[in-house]
Chain A
């Protein structure tokens, strides 16, 4: 089961781009990389998922180098409402039945006015 390592916390000013990096050295061939966002008193919410190179949607970009041992979530021009905990997961891509995934402790992003 691939383990992930993320910074415990980050601060950023409003309007800046924020990059959160996650290490996953023992990622398996079938594993996807998925990021979730969690606000207080709510369940995690899916942000973005990728397998390799770059993925972009309306809220974020995900950069994955060729060796896939790390990934970077990029949030453009953050606002106060982006203050949340961000989780990086690997897994969920097994072709043979369900593969357990492990949530780490996440990165607490604090956006400052």
Chain B
């Protein structure tokens, strides 16, 4: 069974800090994604990556960057955290086009 692991379930950081959220998948999947989920807004795509060192902006990339140095790991970076980035962050991966996404259990990030 595919496993997508996010490094933290809960995280509390301060405004202005640089924050790293890590995601690892164990099934050699090509594509990985970062979403944020807010009440009433569903899941919104921040960034995705279709190969090592490749990335594409999603719908709401402002204030975020990503890194994919190895196929199994996709990192989301908040360069200078702000309170409006308090949210649930979800990582997902798929083997390829047409395949369903496999999600991690999320990181609930609070920025104080």
List the interface of chain A (C-beta within 8 A of B): 32, 34, 36, 41-46, 49, 87, 92-95, 97-106
Contacts and interface: CB of A to CB of B under 8 A. Distances in A.
B39 to A, nearest CB: 9
A41 B104 CA distance: 10
A42 B106 contact: yes
A41 B108 CA distance: 9
B35 A103 contact: yes
Interface of B: 4, 31, 35, 40-45, 48, 50, 56, 58-59, 90-92, 94, 97-106, 108
Contacts of A98: 31, 48, 50, 56, 97
Nearest to B104: A43
Q: Which 10 A-B pairs have the closest CB atoms?
A: A43-B103, A103-B43, A46-B100, A105-B42, A103-B42, A93-B98, A98-B50, A43-B90, A44-B103, A42-B105
Contact of B103 (A41, A45, A104): A45
Contact of A44 (B43, B45, B58): B43
Contacts of B43: 44, 87, 103
A106 B42 contact: yes
Contact of B59 (A87, A97, A102): A102
A32 B101 CA distance: 13
Nearest to B108: A41
Contacts of A102: 45, 59
Contacts of B40: 105
A34 B100 contact: yes
Contacts of B91: 43
B100 A97 contact: no
A68 B67 CA distance: 37
A41 B106 contact: yes
A100 B94 CA distance: 12
Nearest to A6: B42
A57 B111 CA distance: 42
